[in-house]
């Protein structure tokens, strides 16, 4: 029933082939705002992986046991899923912030400023909504959540490295900043599409 | 635009003013302060739904409706919301409105709502909504907030439709489903640009659009 090869294939698919940023455009706002420095990008990337790995299974459980008509309440409440998911995400982010502050001040200082940003990062809500739409099981959801985060982190860290190099190039005036970043993202997206042929 | 504001100093402030200054609230976000190309907000959904013009139009309408209404609601509540929990209040107002829009689309445009899939839900995390709620609606009366929401929604929609026109025309040779590139052109060897239908096409077109818009308005960014 749980096929390790199928799970590995799902992981590769969500990291490379269907990268949540480069194929679904999710999480673009923070991607554009925080990709100027590699350190910042790494911090945000790690925070996104962490929050995704926690919220995706949590929202799966809420969807399965509370919102579906086969759940505990026996009523179809799936139209409420947007508000339930976003509340879970906001609460988780707040909770993670407090736990980190208490138990790991070093990590908190590294991630601290990024955590509130993540509550409104589309890739977090998007992953939960994709999970619901594609009807993943629990293990699949865990794998999908974590590897979507890894894919996002990979994209933002490589973007930061490219932008670092871009500082030394002579970009036309109107294209500076956002414009050239979008073009580079386009080229990165082309590169990631090359993974589409990989099948496990 | 050309007619000057006739009542320069009204006795008491009108309930629904529409003078020059108020009009700026609507016209500013259309070009000089466009939420997508200048403020860099709401890019996510700006790209995902632009493969076809009809999807872009529905998405633009949904965002215009949600951003105007959420601005009005938040502006009405602005003096009652405690500052410490304002984010969660704003999020719940927005999420409720998005649920209404989603149910409406499911009822009247089922096919399109299936195709837009998760992106209607993702209006909640569209930074334009939170941005306008936080920056404008929390500090201004409802009427101005409504206009601000309309202006930003329209500015967002304009970019969305512009990209969609480019992608559909170049990628499928049609607009709103009507074939525009004649059969003769295909017979003569014209090929649709497959890249435009794929995600990279959206990134590249938006990059070029930003370039064009910024060269026109003369806005430049550091580094």
Report residue A198's pLDDT band, with 50, 70 and 90 as the boundaries. Answer: low
Q: Is residue B211 part of a domain?
A: yes
* Per-residue pLDDT reduced to its tens digit, A19-56: 888 888 888 877 887 788 888 788 888 888 888 888 99
Residue A169's φ and ψ, nearest 5 degrees, are -105, 155
Q: How many domains does chain B have?
A: 1
* Alpha carbon distance A142, A14 (integer Å): 12
Tell me what percent of the residues of chain B surpass a pLDDT of 70: 85
Listed residue (A30, A58, A42) closest to A111, CA to CA: A42
Determine, for residues A176 and B220 on separate chains, whether the beta-carbon distance falls below 8 Å.
yes
Chain B CB contacts of A187 below 8 Å: 200
| Residue B174 resides in a domain | yes
With beta carbons less than 8 A apart as the criterion, state whether B210 and B38 touch. no
Cβ contacts (< 8 Å) between A87 and chain B: which residues?
88, 91-92
In a domain, B31, yes or no: no
Whether the CB of B103 is below 8 Å from some CB of chain A: the reply is yes
Please state the ipTM of this predicted complex: 0.79
Q: Is residue B87 in a domain?
A: yes
Q: Is the Cβ of B45 closer than 8 Å to some Cβ of chain A?
A: yes
Q: Is B135 on the interface with A (CB under 8 A)?
A: no
Q: Which of A32, A16, A46, A28 lies closest to A126 in space, CA to CA?
A: A28
Q: Is there a domain that residue B1 lies in?
A: no
Residues belonging to chain B? 223
CA A199/CA A34 separation, integer angstroms: 33
* Model confidence pLDDT, tens digit, residues A68-117: 877 777 777 778 888 888 888 888 888 877 877 888 787 777 666 667 77
The separation between CA B205 and the C-alpha centre of its own chain, rounded to angstroms, equals: 17
Q: Is A185 on the interface with B (CB under 8 A)?
A: yes
Give the mean pLDDT of B150-170.
Answer: 87
Which of A29, A125, A179 faces B124 most closely, judged by CB atoms?
Answer: A125
Residues of B in Cβ contact (< 8 Å) with A183? 203-204, 207-208
Residue-wise pLDDT tens digits, B33-84: 777 766 667 777 667 788 888 888 888 899 899 989 999 999 898 888 887 7
In a domain, B3, yes or no: no
Rounded to an integer, the average pLDDT of A54-66 is 89
Output the six-digit token pair for B113: 């709502």
How far apart are alpha carbons B131 and B80 in whole angstroms? 19
**B129-140 confidence digits (pLDDT tens):** 888 888 888 888
- Tell me the residue range of the domain where B177 lies: 37-216
DSSP symbol at A88: H
B27 within domain boundaries: no
Question: What confidence score (pLDDT) does residue A150 get?
Answer: 93
B74-122 pLDDT, tens digit per residue, is: 989 888 888 777 777 888 888 899 999 988 988 888 888 888 877 888 8
Look at residue B24 and tell me if it is in a domain: no
Distance in angstroms (rounded) separating the CA atoms of residues A62 and A99: 22
Sequence-distant (≥ 6) Cβ neighbours of residue A137 within 8 angstroms = none
Chain B neighbors of A191, CB-CB under 8 A: none
B102 and A82 in contact by Cβ < 8 A?
yes
Q: How confident is the model at residue A200, as a pLDDT?
A: 59
């Amino acid at each position: 029933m749980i096929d390790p090869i199928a799970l590995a294939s799902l992981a590769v698919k969500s990291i490379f082939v269907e990268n949540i940023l480069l194929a679904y455009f999710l999480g673009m706002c923070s991607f554009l705002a925080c990709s100027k420095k590699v350190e910042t990008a790494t911090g945000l990337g790690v925070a996104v992986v962490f929050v995704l790995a926690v919220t995706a299974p949590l929202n799966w459980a809420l969807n399965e046991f509370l919102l579906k008509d086969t759940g505990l309440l026996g009523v179809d409440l799936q139209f409420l899923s947007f508000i339930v998911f976003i509340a879970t995400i906001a609460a988780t982010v707040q909770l993670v912030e407090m736990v980190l502050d208490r138990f790991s001040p070093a990590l908190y200082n590294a991630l601290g400023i990024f955590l509130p940003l993540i509550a409104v990062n589309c890739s977090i809500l998007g992953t939960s909504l994709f999970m619901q739409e594609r009807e993943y099981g629990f293990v699949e959801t865990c794998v999908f959540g974590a590897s979507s985060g890894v894919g996002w982190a990979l994209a933002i860290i490589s973007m930061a490295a490219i932008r670092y190099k871009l500082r030394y190039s002579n970009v036309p005036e109107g294209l500076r900043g956002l414009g050239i970043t979008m073009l580079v993202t386009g080229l990165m997206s082309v590169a990631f599409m090359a993974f589409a042929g990989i099948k496990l | 635009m050309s007619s000057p504001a006739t009542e320069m100093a009204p006795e008491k402030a009108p309930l629904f003013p529409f003078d020059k200054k108020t009009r700026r609230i609507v016209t500013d976000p259309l070009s000089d302060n466009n939420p997508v190309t200048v403020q860099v907000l709401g890019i996510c959904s700006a790209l995902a739904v632009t493969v076809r013009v009809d999807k872009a139009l529905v998405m633009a309408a949904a965002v215009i409706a949600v951003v105007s209404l959420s601005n009005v609601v938040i502006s009405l509540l602005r003096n009652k919301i405690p500052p410490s929990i304002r984010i969660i209040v704003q999020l719940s107002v927005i999420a409720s409105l998005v649920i209404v829009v989603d149910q409406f689309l499911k009822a009247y445009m089922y096919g399109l709502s299936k195709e837009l899939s998760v992106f209607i839900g993702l209006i909640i995390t569209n930074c334009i909504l939170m941005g306008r709620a936080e920056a404008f609606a929390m500090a201004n009366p409802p009427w101005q907030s409504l206009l601000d929401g309309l202006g930003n929604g329209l500015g967002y929609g304009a970019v969305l439709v512009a990209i969609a026109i480019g992608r559909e025309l170049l990628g499928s040779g049609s607009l709103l489903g009507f074939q525009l590139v004649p059969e003769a052109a295909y017979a003569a060897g014209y090929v649709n640009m497959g890249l435009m239908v794929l995600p990279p096409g959206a990134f590249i077109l938006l990059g070029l659009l930003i370039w064009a818009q910024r060269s026109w308005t003369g806005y430049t960014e550091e580094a």
